[in-house]
Structure 1
Amino acid sequence: MPSDPIVCPFCPLCCDDVHVDAASGETDVPCELAQLELAAAVRMPSARIGSESIDSIDWSVLGESLSLQPTPVVEFNGATIAEAKMLETLVTESRIQLRIADAACGRALDQTIARDGLLATTLGDAVRRAEYFWGIGNLDQRTPRLKERLNQSGAALEYTPTATIGLLSRLHELLGGLAGDAAVDPAAAVDPIGSEPDRLHEHFRNSRSTVVVVGGAAFESGQEVIASEMLIRWIARWNETALPIAGGHDGDDPIVSRVTLLRLTADQNLRTVIRWRNNQVSPSDLSSPPVATIRVGSPVGEVTAPVRLQIGGVDPGQSLAHAYLPAAVPGVHHADTTIRGDGSVTLPLAGWTDSTYPRRVDVLRRVLAVG
């Protein structure tokens, strides 16, 4: 394996400690996502239409066979900064619509944070300073090594598969009782060995720094909007209240408990480029149309709709992609840059092996017949 580690381009963590064998694509990290993607990038699947492999591509014939709309919907997973700039140009020129491969939970959080704001933290600060982590949802699906990173802090990690409306309501109730009602005895109001929200509340009260880590499917289906609002507003209320830690003082001043949120988004590069170029967070052109006809990169999520064409990534088979075209991958076959999913740092992606295939955006442009 190479003596120098690479920055892995396949998830928002952008792990920078990955060693890869350039001949086989094998890696020394226990990450199934990286293993699958690296193996596919080094041993690229063959191009195909339906179940038939193709050796050469007639781009005009291919475009006709795919029956694409004049402005097809493209789902581009894991776009780098350079790719995001090219995609933004294609959207501006009305060549494509973009679909963000995000679930209802992520969209609800986006809406709430855009309206209400957020006291956020970065992965680096969380690992250095957190005394307690509260993980919500599936932390492993899109960021397989996130728990490994959090465990480096030595802080305790409490995991809640789904933050229900009932749980969030109880957290608000406990905070309201302790902060706003002088007649309420905190010891009587909270049962530290009772229900989950009561136990969580006690952990938060006794931690100088709690980090809430939101993964996939963090809220109940159909309740994502109200749950995201309750979570973000609870974090804001907690910090406004500035509850002192029992017995904790820094000189004459009490040490207060703080809560922040850590979220790693897979489309950080695209969102950042849109802000740079348009001076706005989410123009209507990026409003997530329901169905994509072209997907770039491997499918994301447990439930994936079929597309007419997939460019690059792991070939998911004919049931999820009528046609598949291989493409060179940034961070494997050529250099690029990316932003970690928490927005904290820009990282270089190195090209460490060769490919005879064109780059992903170049393949997309050929399919669209864009000069």
Structure 2
Amino acid sequence: MSDHLSLGFEIVSLTVLGLILLFDLLYVVRRPHEPSMKEAGLWVGFYVTLALVFAGLLFWQAGPQYGQEFVAGWVTEYSLSVDNLFVFIIIMARFSVPRKYQQEVLMFGIIIALILRGIFILLGATLIEHFTWVFYIFGAFLLWTAWHQLKDDGGDEEDGAENGLVARLTKKLPVSEKYDGNKLRTTVDGRKMFTPMVMVFITIGMTDLMFAIDSIPAIFGLTQSAFIVFTANIFALMGLRQLYFLLGGLMDRLIYLKHGLSFILAFIGVKLILHAISHNELPFINGGQHVEWVPDISTPLSLAVILTTIVVATVASLMSKKGREAAMDARLKADVDKVRHPDEVGADKSE
């Protein structure tokens, strides 16, 4: 066992993960369908098991510090990804995306999220290496994000699918009223037009950008290894589209997840600021000297706080009356949609 990861281990790991993601992408493209609960459950279980096996390999190859940092980062990013699913659900509903094509939309979102997070990871690692004071900015940003998420009731997100930047970017695009399978372009009365799928992709991409900006500072508060940051993000996004179908109405019951995530982001924000103070180089703070008395929040403590918060938020949501009422409202809305669009349901079953 060593206290660092070898270059060979990192290359092999990223290659294997890349091949798994490529297989997942090809599977979705060749077989567009709504997965059954069994299929979705098996895939989610596979990806979670894969992440735990990878954590075990890190414990074995580089010691408990790397292993704990990965688990803490993976759990945090996975939780933020589940929060991302809430927004995806709103987008799918807003644009009435047919169920059998939602897998492709989700896979597109995952790929864009990986690309954006990869860019932010490289930028973040470079900044941290050369400018330790960036931890002050990361910490303050996470505290602001935590507060903003806590007070946001989510009511503006649905309107955001049509208004704001997305609407400005697409207002001059000729967009048809109906989908044409999973095509981005179609012909209506002899005129070439974009399908609503283009609007969906642009909205998903903008959502991924916002979540990437939130998630990368959060995980850099748990580890400074770019490899662990990137692999934790990959595992957090793996199986996300299957989780979307597996959770179904349960998503509507997790009403306190946002509160739990707000607490986690605030906790990591405080940890980042304390770390910045203990490694301070800014001349107007303590004369540019490190502050020795600042407490250090260890990785095991961070992992315990994150896991406890997620468990408490989930249990409180499932047990609360408000959560059950939210789930019932979601089921009623889904039943109404089936009555309004019976042709879509029949089309999915026939294929």
* TM-score normalised according to structure 2 size: 0.26
Query: Which structure features the higher share of helix residues?
Result: 2
Query: Which structure features the higher share of strand residues?
Result: 1
Larger radius of gyration: 1
